[in-house]
Amino acid sequence: MTDTALTILHNPVLSDAQCAGIAALYRAVGWGSPGTAQEIRELYEFSSYTLLALDGEQVIGLLRAESETAQTTWLAEIAVLPGFQSRGVGHLLMTRFLADHPQRTLYTDATEGVEEFFVRHGIALRRPRVPGPRKAGA
């Protein structure tokens, strides 16, 4: 991290700057065009559970989930900016998510190549897996 404190926001009302940060994170991890600020705001507003990880004011990580039933929650997405990966941000987001969803069945559509992260945290993998982002020249 930097000299500023890492902040985790739970179900925040997104500012324009946070929407821009989410869009930048989506692009940085290869998730393509995230849509307009209003579309991002609506996606997060209508999701049942969201977390944003901020380093100062910069969005460096996110987690979004949907409650499907009283017992089942789908982990829709978790991502960390490449420059902040392998620093515990994803683990921190997942730890908070797990603590907030005790005794629930949790699953995800894991991206190929990161299945171990979800298995390590006890998240069931639904098949088929989602293909990972394409590498340049692939």
Say what the pTM is: 0.84
∠ CA 98-103-106, nearest 5°, is 55
What is the residue-level pLDDT of the chain in tens, covering all 138 positions? 444 579 999 999 999 999 999 999 999 998 887 889 999 999 999 999 999 999 999 999 999 999 988 899 999 999 999 999 999 999 999 999 999 999 888 988 867 778 888 888 888 888 655 555 555 554
∠ CA 56-78-6, nearest 5°, is 20
- Structural domain for 109, as ranges: 6-125
Is 47 part of any domain? Answer: yes
Angle of the 16-28 helix axis to the 37-45 helix axis, nearest 10? 90
List Cβ neighbours of 7 (8 Å cut-off, separation of 6 or more). 53, 54
> Domain with 107 in it: what CATH number?
3.40.630.30
Is 110 part of any domain? Answer: yes
Is 50 part of any domain? Answer: yes
Is 131 part of any domain? Answer: no
Is 137 part of any domain? Answer: no
Is 88 part of any domain? Answer: yes
Q: Please name the residue that has the structure tokens 């500023």.
A: 4
What DSSP string describes 81-102? -GGGTTTTHHHHHHHHHHHHST
Is 22 part of any domain? Answer: yes
Number of domains present in the structure of the chain: 1
Is 32 part of any domain? Answer: yes
